[in-house]
Structure 1
Amino acid sequence: MRTVYVVRSPDAAAALADGRGLPYLAQYFTTARSIKEAADRLGEPLAKVHYWTRRWHELGLLEVVEERRRGGRPIRVYRTVAQLFEVPAGSLPHEKFEARMARSRRVQRAAAEEAVPELQHAAVLRVYNEGTDGQVSTDRTTDGAVRRGDILSCDFTVRLSAADARRLRDELEDLRNRWLERGTGRSGTHMVELAITPLPQD
């Protein structure tokens, strides 16, 4: 198995950027599995897992590493061809990727508002002076974190030095990686969005 596979096929790049099939591809990264084993692990219909497994195989990202003999047709066992797939910037379908990100944010917001209706009324606008005559600062934030069950929604603006901003960025990345490692099995799918972005100066 290769460590890194650079994806240059437009179809494979588009499928990776689209994201819908990634949960199925993920089943074959660390362990070789049959389609049924992947379906059992995901708790998904066999036909759906079969479709995505065959799709990733056709795109060249999965390979058959074993055929288990039985009466009739042998059972194929799949694994990813690499531990990391990398799509160069020039091969990314940028508009599709941006549309997917916008759709994900809409889905996340709609799901949160349905589960926690007070989110719709939780945003607070703060306008204040930090001591410089003739200037004001504005913040849009949720007045505290809105939480219920396994839902948490909050955003805020904060003034950070460049060093602290990088430190926070690294902490968020570590948090992401840690929970991606734990996010396996048949548990419900959750969307988590982490971001830190410098804002233009007023």
Structure 2
Amino acid sequence: MTGDFSDWPRRAVITDEAAGTWLVDLEAQRFLAPFLRRDCTVARAARELGVKANSLLYRVERLVSLGLLRVVREERRQGKAVKVYRASADEFFVPFAATGAAALEDLVRALSAPLGHVLVSNSVAVMRARDLDIGVRVFRDAAGETGRVRTHLAFPDGSRVDTRGDEWPPLMDTWHGGLRLSRAQGKAFQRELEDLLEKYARISVDEPGELRLLAHLALTPLVTPPPLHDSSREAS
């Protein structure tokens, strides 16, 4: 028998830090997925997730203790009754205040890691395909003993690899850790970058032979300083 959950809470705001930290863990989230917006037993969830039921039961009990799962009913069968679970809301909102700073950092890293990997692996593949004698130049900048160690891609003579020329496909991965702008200038820079991305997104085409590009724009105030050994790294 399926219960009537037409009045089931649609959205829950998390106030408990333990529950909030659990919810922003992408690896942990997968164990909640089978129970979102539907009733589900541990056995069914384990089959869908490809894990052992006994192992999943421990996580389910933890979710119940955090208030993220509820037992909605028990199905009578031969032997012990089987518990049926459902997430305590159809969706959750986790305020920053309900997570630790480390949990938020881990979430942002986890969300950006897959595309970051794609960016790096494809950039390296493009450079390798050109069969050029390219390496990494490690040096101290012009400030002498007080200067910082810098790193960039270079040819054997020390000259930088410049991918802006027409002989290269569109390719860049540039960091600058030393911009000093007023707040108004910084906001103008942000808006110009976003407008530029939107401009080219609008004219994006989907035809055979056209390049597909992965674009990444980022800008943030430096609350913590960049690594001392690398104030301005330019990968290309």
Q: What TM-score, normalized to structure 2?
A: 0.50
Q: Cα–Cα, structure 1 residues 125 and 69, in superposed 2: closer, same or farther, change >3 Å? A: farther
Correspondence for 2:198 among 136, 160, 164: 164
Is this contact kept in 1: 2:123–2:171, CA < 8 A? no
Partner of 2:204: none
Aligned mates of 1:93, 1:103 — CA distance in 2: 16
Is this contact kept in 1: 2:26–2:110, CA < 8 A? no
Counterpart secondary structure, 1:24: coil
Is this contact kept in 1: 2:14–2:92, CA < 8 A? yes
Counterpart secondary structure, 2:32: helix
Q: Cα–Cα, structure 1 residues 81 and 164, in superposed 2: closer, same or farther, change >3 Å? A: same
Find out whether 1:42 has 2:49 as its counterpart: yes
Looking at secondary structure, tell me which structure has more strand per residue.
1
- Counting matched residue pairs gives 146
Correspondence for 2:109 among 66, 85, 102: 102
Structure 1 gaps, min length 5: 129-137, 142-158, 169-193
Query: Which structure has the larger Rg?
Result: 2
Correspondence for 1:140 among 152, 159, 172: 172
Find out whether 1:14 has 2:21 as its counterpart: yes
Aligned mates of 2:59, 2:215 — CA distance in 1: 30
Partner of 1:64: 71
1:197 maps to a residue whose letter is L
Aligned mates of 1:27, 1:52 — CA distance in 2: 13
Counterpart secondary structure, 1:65: strand
Aligned mates of 1:121, 1:162 — CA distance in 2: 26
How big is the shift at 1:35? Answer: 0.1
Percent identity over paired residues: 24
After TM superposition, the structure 1 stretch with the greater mean CA deviation from structure 2, 32-41 or 45-54, is 45-54
Partner of 2:126: 122
When the two chains are superposed, the root-mean-square deviation of aligned CA atoms in Å is 3.8
Aligned mates of 1:33, 1:5 — CA distance in 2: 20
Aligned mates of 2:30, 2:91 — CA distance in 1: 15
Aligned mates of 1:118, 1:195 — CA distance in 2: 12
Q: Cα–Cα, structure 1 residues 78 and 195, in superposed 2: closer, same or farther, change >3 Å? A: farther
After TM superposition, the structure 1 stretch with the greater mean CA deviation from structure 2, 67-76 or 1-10, is 67-76
How big is the shift at 1:11? Answer: 0.6
Counterpart secondary structure, 2:30: helix
Looking at secondary structure, tell me which structure has more helix per residue.
1
User: How far does the alpha carbon of each residue in 1:76-135 deviate from its partner, in whole angstroms, 9 at most, with x for none?
Assistant: 00001111101112222222221344366557767x79xx9776443585246xxxxxxx
Structure 2 gaps, min length 5: 1-7, 128-160, 174-192, 202-213, 221-236
Partner of 2:39: 32
Aligned mates of 1:56, 1:67 — CA distance in 2: 18
Aligned mates of 1:89, 1:4 — CA distance in 2: 17
Q: What TM-score, normalized to structure 1?
A: 0.57
How big is the shift at 1:67? Answer: 0.1
